[in-house]
Amino acid sequence: MEEVSKIAHRTPLKQSATLNKWTGGKLYMKLENLQRTGSFKLRGAYYKVSTLNDFEGARGVIAASAGNHAQGLALSCSLRGIKSKIFMPENAPLSKIEAVKSYGADIVLEGDNYQAAYEAAKKEELVNGSVFVHPFDDYDVIAGQSTVALEMLQQNPELKTIVVPVGGGGLLAGIALAVKSIRPDVRVVGVQSANVSAVYQAFTGSSKKPLSRCSSIADGIAVVKPGEITVPVISKYVDEMVTVTEEQIAFAMMFMLEREKMVVEGAGAASLAAVLFHSQLAAGQKVGLIISGGNVDPQKWSFYKGLADKLNMKRIS
């Protein structure tokens, strides 16, 4: 995917001695929180925008996003001189809203979750004829996200498992397709917040109904309705899925802040929470964790710490 490499950073694959000791495995964190725009989402957004012809570009681009897709798409459009209009939930982190504005996009705040913003964006699409760029249910977006796995396997060919945070499933679908096409022996594990686990429920067959609520500190993966393209891919190629609680996600966020001196958002910390609290995923294995983003509202850190402390686990020094 040479097109993506023109714009996206080749982010580090980093180890932590503390995490290796805690889990009994060798963990390698793919730090997409250090990616341009602070998230892996730039990869899929840029690849999609790169496929638009001049006629499509002249129509402008429209999208819905909780924040990370919005930033990646806004930057991608600005690099091509394409106008973008992005619908975001009213409760999206202020840091993400301001970042999207800084990349030149027009913003509309709509509803209290991604689904409400999505529905508003689709109505707008019918009115103005812009090209809608879906944050996960799009083949080109999925292809762009797959470059995360390609880099990881180049950086460490000995990885045996890759753990991926999941919202609508675009990243997981891309990772699974890439991994299983070149390294079918590598296990692919998806992780969702237990509060918003639509893809997990579809994968396990525990429910086929859309979720009625969408509340999680992992706002980047808080999606009530999974993708029509992504779920069949995930069902076919992903080996396992797990869920983590809000407190476990918050603990992983605090670990990264206190021990690694890194700001990681809830969605980005989900994969770390998975190996910390599902011990079978890491013990005795070389495991890649996708730390998918680092866009956090700084005003909420005290809340995250309070959630983490509910676990009554020893603070990491």
Distance CA 100, CA 86 (A): 9
Sort residue 279 into left (φ over 0), alpha (ψ -120 to 50) or beta. Answer: alpha
Q: How long is the chain?
A: 317
Helix (H, G, I), strand (E, B) or coil at 227: coil
User: Which residue among the candidates 26, 30, 41, 85 is catalytic per the annotation?
Assistant: 41
Rounded to the nearest angstrom, the gap between the alpha carbon of residue 17 and the centroid of all alpha carbons in its chain is 25
Helix (H, G, I), strand (E, B) or coil at 108: strand
Distance CA 236, CA 94 (A): 37
Count other Cβ atoms within 10 Å, centred on residue 124.
18
Rounded to the nearest angstrom, the gap between the alpha carbon of residue 68 and the centroid of all alpha carbons in its chain is 8
Contact 93, 297 (CB under 8 A): yes
Rounded to the nearest angstrom, the gap between the alpha carbon of residue 219 and the centroid of all alpha carbons in its chain is 10
Helix (H, G, I), strand (E, B) or coil at 146: coil
Q: What distance separates the 2 farthest-apart alpha carbons in the chain? A: 58
Distance CA 32, CA 299 (A): 22
Q: Which tokens belong to 168?
A: 């609508």
Distance CA 241, CA 234 (A): 10
Distance CA 209, CA 226 (A): 11
122 is catalytic: no
User: Which residue among the candidates 39, 84, 197, 292 is catalytic per the annotation?
Assistant: 292
User: What is the chain's Cα-based Rg?
Assistant: 18
Distance CA 226, CA 289 (A): 22
76 is catalytic: no
Q: Catalytic amino acids?
A: 41, 292
